[in-house]
Amino acid sequence: MNFYAEARAAFCDQLLRLGFRPDGDGLYVGTPLGYPNSQLRPTLEVELPDGFPFRPPFVRVREPELTARSWHLNLDDKGRGALCLWQHSGGLNDYPWADPLTLLDRVREWLENDSLGWPDEPPILDVQAYLPLAYDRLIVSPEHLSGREGALYVRRRFAYWDIWETTSSPDGPRVAGALREPVQAVFAEMGRLDQPLRSVGEVTDLIPGHKRTELEGVLGSAGLAVLLARYQRGDNQGLLALQILSRAGERSMVAFRDVYELTPEILTLRSGPAAPLLASARIAVIGVGAIGSFLTEALVRCGARSISLYDSDDLAPGNCVRHLCGLQYAGLLKPLAVIEYLKARGLATGTSLRPEFSILTPEHAQAVFEAHDLVVDATANESATGMLIHEALSREARLVSVCVLGDGQFIRVDRWPLHGSERHAEPPDAAALRPSAPMYESGCGDAVSPTPPYAPMKAAASACRVVIDLITHDTPDVPCTIVEEA
């Protein structure tokens, strides 16, 4: 018997000892617990899924009236809910649900919280999960959250669902497989929710009267409409969207499975705690090759909104294996290629990204430091690096210099100004760099570096960490030199 079979057999044997009885393949039923503050003993179903013990059992309460108004349920297609007992999916040797006694303790805790209305639980914004669901997703632009203006939708069709997007105009680039059709929408506020909604009728009951009238007017003239409803749980706001179809005097309503808002707050929610300070910093990245391109992307993803990119080189096809940008950007100046790449992926929204030519003179370097709060040297050019270090030391300005050493064996990041007794580290021993035989490319007089792509990616990540540290701390936490094996 293998490990999985042994774990399953031991679990089922202990369930039987606790008074459960088999009721189908992998399903056990029992009444081991009382519902808090009542004489009721709910009937628990414990079902072992494929993948147990790495996946937790499904636990359901057979009496629907006990959980009809419960949060933290995973509803199935019959409207029955499995209790959400753990927020994590387990880890190495961490499967608490594999012990039936621990499982029942967690169920007892769930029932207690449920009887009290989940007072200490985080306000999870998944109201749509308790309603009849479509497979469709909806992406909403901020300007369409205040009313019916621009209520036009683009639908990209997949095998089982559509992705809807709000747009203000039917014009613009055509997307393969997309359907463009006007769909009227009504936006309403539902207020604070204290319990989940289990029917679309309960949703419309919470909509103010004048909005219900507006919705009825829309439904009277359109076969398909969308209701966007804002709600609040705790201190957080969620958005619910319903598709409403009127046909032959009958009306059906289903919720979008997911609603994505393209607001700046949502788009930077995962950028990290330094995002607000990065957003106000003026940053210059000098050298937009392999390291500089990935560094720029990392800074934008972390919340930077004002970046000047200095480089006069074109992006050659051979660069692309180590560069952020692919072959479709070959031939562009590297700063323009990076900017176009970030725009194409929606990462440049709300940013000021400026392409600039290389820095050639001390006067130009002075102007760059005067116009920015922090300068990053990613040139891998000794003359440019020396000029930038000299200028940073003369004005005690913030400078970060980043490079790969040898054929990519090491990455190095230095920062200025130094504090107290700080001194930059010595470079690695020359023998550790193990340079390989030079390689040459047609049309280029310089040898091609054989540095593998992961080295500049790691260098860019370390440089990004140093930039964030300089911007967020008066006295940096990160050492003045980072030298690491790539």
Task: Identify the structural domains of the chain with CATH numbers, from first to last.
Answer: 3-116 (3.10.110.10), 127-262 (no CATH), 275-485 (3.40.50.720)
Instruction: Give the model's pLDDT for residue 214.
Output: 83
pLDDT at 352 over 70: yes
User: What pLDDT band is residue 150 in, cutting at 50, 70 and 90?
Assistant: very low
pLDDT value, residue 187: 87
Q: What confidence score (pLDDT) does residue 444 get?
A: 62
* Lowest model confidence (mean pLDDT) among 123-137, 182-196, 233-247, 430-444: 430-444
H helices of 55-154, where? Answer: 64-67, 100-116
Q: Could you tell me where the beta strands, DSSP code E, fall in 40-199?
A: 44-47, 58-61, 73-75, 81-83, 137-140, 152-157, 162-167, 178-182, 184-192
* Lowest-confidence segment of 247-261, 284-298, 301-315 by average pLDDT: 247-261
Could you tell me the pLDDT band of residue 108, with boundaries at 50, 70 and 90?
very high
pLDDT digits (tens, 9 = 90+) for 83-101: 999 876 655 567 889 999 9
Confidence band, pLDDT 50/70/90 cuts, at residue 18: very high
Would you call 349 exposed, middle or buried from its count of C-beta atoms within 10 A (0-12, 13-18, 19+)? Answer: middle
* pLDDT at 168 (0 to 100): 65
Q: Say how far apart CA 256 and CA 251 lie, in whole Å.
A: 16
User: Above 60 in pLDDT, residue 148?
Assistant: no
Under a CB-based contact definition with an 8 Å cutoff, are residues 187 and 207 in contact? no
Query: Is the pLDDT score of 437 beyond 70?
Result: no
Predicted TM-score (pTM) of the model is 0.82
Q: Which helix (H) or strand (E) holds 283?
A: strand 282-286
Determine the pLDDT at residue 217: 80
pLDDT tens across 204-223, in order? 889 888 888 888 887 776 67
Mean pLDDT within 72-91: 76
